[in-house]
Amino acid sequence: MGRIAVLIALLASLSLAHDHGSMESMSASMGSSGDGKHCPICNMDVESDWFVLMKHGQKINSCSMTDGSQFRLGVNAFSHAARIGATMKDITSNPKCDASCPECSTGNVMDPISGDKVTDANFKFLCFNRGQKLYFSSEATKEQFITGINSHPYFGVDKVVCGGQPCPDSFQLPQVSHADTPSPSFCTGSSVMFSGFQSSAGGTCVKLFFQSWILDTPLKYALGVIVVFILPLMNEYLVSYREDIRMKFVKTKSSRYQGWSKTSRKLILTLLYMAQMTLAYFAMLVVMVYDTILFFSLILGFGVAFAWFKSERSLGLKTTAMMRATWRFDESEYLTVLSVDGMMCMQNCGSTVQSALERVPGVKHVYIGFSEKCAYVSGSASTDMVVQAVEAVGFDVRVLRRPRSDSDASAHYGSNSHLA
């Protein structure tokens, strides 16, 4: 039994020794793959047969992420070994390496410039990203190398190796993507007012109306130009629409507004006036920006608005029938409003009625509202005289409004049947 126990103990010790030797062998094998070094490009563990071989024998190891066979697809398809050689000037500014040279004790480290032996006593080094080093025998050769890599990719490189073979992309240069270079901005900063007329392109951005409306791109600026062009169109449309509504309020007996109270009509006209003035002040703010393109867009908008909404109405009117006849509001105390039936056109019928009224003694102004078939007369002439003048040229007349001085007990003056 004693002999058997001794034999078992001996076999166990031999087994443990064998396992320990296997572990040491595995550890050595793992260390030889990269010795704990990291790729300067991506920080992955390096491979022993993927490296940049410098002149006179030093190596900078890399990972095996890509083999470089598809390098024409762009920089991301390059092997990391080739990228190390091509971009040394960008990856040798790491200040974190310790000032030591463990490899120098072997006596096999040679300066990549001069070929001189690098020792513990004379070594200088460049520290790559993630900690690998390149050693030199003097400060002069180190500076010579730095100058070289700043002007020549692959400076001092003898071979680029991928998996023990020359890399397919050896000594190739990655193409710099144009997308990496930012294009010059359309404009900079922002302002609600320039110092004199100027353009935003290449200058200061326009802040249009609101804090967030900064026209800092060509698209935003183009949209701003369109908005400014539309402003006068909307303004003149509201002026025309408000006057048309007012005319319909005047002739309420034949319109759908007959049931509306006078207060309701005035409220509608007031709101329309407020909206129109808001747009007008926005247009004023555009002028105050002093942006040349926006200013011309605004003026062009006013020209188109006039041609669209006003020019046609202005052509057929005589001197006493000015556009929209604003005197009707200033001289409402002396205003007579007549509904004239039978006016079929402005050129003949309207002009006939207007001429007849202008010949009446005491008549100061005459305006023919052809769309509403009404005649507006101001002056000292009595209502009967102007009615007779219109009837004398063959038209039926109905009095919608009498002047205050000519109203009978104010029976119809100021009633809800019209709005002066």
The pTM for the full model equals 0.39
413, pLDDT greater than 70? no
What are residue 366's DSSP bridge partners? 377
**pLDDT tens across 78-116, in order?**
999 999 999 988 888 777 888 899 889 888 999 999 999
Query: Is 303 in the same domain as 382?
Result: no
The reply to whether 102 falls in a domain is: yes
247, pLDDT greater than 50? yes
Query: Is 395 in the same domain as 354?
Result: yes
DSSP 157-168: EEEEEETTEE-T
405, pLDDT greater than 80? no
Which pLDDT does position 166 carry in this prediction?
94
The reply to whether 237 falls in a domain is: yes
In contact, 316 and 346? CB cutoff 8 Å: yes
Which token pair is 231? 């402003």
Q: 311 vs 102, which has greater pLDDT?
A: 102
Which pLDDT does position 80 carry in this prediction?
93
Which pLDDT does position 23 carry in this prediction?
38
Query: Is 55 in the same domain as 138?
Result: yes
The edge-to-edge listing of strands for the beta sheet with 214-215 is 188-191, 204-207, 214-215
Query: Is 167 in the same domain as 38?
Result: yes
The reply to whether 206 falls in a domain is: no
Query: Is 296 in the same domain as 350?
Result: no
Which pLDDT does position 311 carry in this prediction?
57
Taking the C-alpha atoms of residue 170 and residue 206, their distance in angstroms, rounded to an integer, is 51
The reply to whether 186 falls in a domain is: no
Q: For residue 60, which phi and psi values (nearest 5 degrees)? A: -120, 110
Q: What is the number of structural domains in the chain?
A: 3
**pLDDT tens across 2-11, in order?**
444 444 444 4
Which amino acid is it at 83? R
Taking the C-alpha atoms of residue 375 and residue 369, their distance in angstroms, rounded to an integer, is 6
Query: Is 275 in the same domain as 225?
Result: yes
**pLDDT tens across 179-198, in order?**
445 566 777 666 777 777 87
Could you say which DSSP state residue 153 is in?
A: T
Which pLDDT does position 325 carry in this prediction?
64
Query: Is 146 in the same domain as 42?
Result: yes
Of 128, 146, 177, the one marking the end of a domain is: 177
Which pLDDT does position 380 carry in this prediction?
84
Query: Is 168 in the same domain as 80?
Result: yes
The reply to whether 121 falls in a domain is: yes
Which pLDDT does position 230 carry in this prediction?
93
334, pLDDT greater than 70? yes
Pair type for strands 59-62 and 157-162: unpaired
139, pLDDT greater than 90? yes
* Helices and strands (H, E) in the chain, number of each type: 10, 13
Residue 140: pLDDT band by 50, 70, 90 thresholds? Answer: very high
Residue 407: pLDDT band by 50, 70, 90 thresholds? Answer: low
**pLDDT tens across 338-364, in order?**
888 877 776 677 788 888 888 888 888
Mean pLDDT on 216-232: 90
Of 263, 290, 315, the one marking the end of a domain is: 315
Residue 391: pLDDT band by 50, 70, 90 thresholds? Answer: confident
Which token pair is 281? 């002040």
Whichever domain contains 386, its CATH number is: 3.30.70.100
138, pLDDT greater than 80? yes
Query: Is 269 in the same domain as 343?
Result: no
Taking the C-alpha atoms of residue 21 and residue 316, their distance in angstroms, rounded to an integer, is 115
The reply to whether 110 falls in a domain is: yes
46, pLDDT greater than 70? yes
315, pLDDT greater than 60? no
Residue 265 lies in domain: 218-315
Query: Is 297 in the same domain as 348?
Result: no
Taking the C-alpha atoms of residue 337 and residue 294, their distance in angstroms, rounded to an integer, is 44
Residue 313: pLDDT band by 50, 70, 90 thresholds? Answer: low
Which pLDDT does position 257 carry in this prediction?
56
Of 315, 337, 353, the one marking the end of a domain is: 315
Cβ of 309: how many Cβ atoms within 10 Å? 18
The mean pLDDT value of the chain amounts to 78
169, pLDDT greater than 50? yes
Of 35-39, 79-83, 200-204, 379-383, give the lowest mean pLDDT range. 200-204
Query: Is 307 in the same domain as 333?
Result: no
Tokens 């949209």 label which residue? 223
The reply to whether 45 falls in a domain is: yes
Query: Is 47 in the same domain as 155?
Result: yes
Of 89-103, 153-167, 254-268, give the lowest mean pLDDT range. 254-268
The reply to whether 172 falls in a domain is: yes
384, pLDDT greater than 70? yes
Q: 410 vs 277, which has greater pLDDT?
A: 277
Mean pLDDT on 202-230: 85
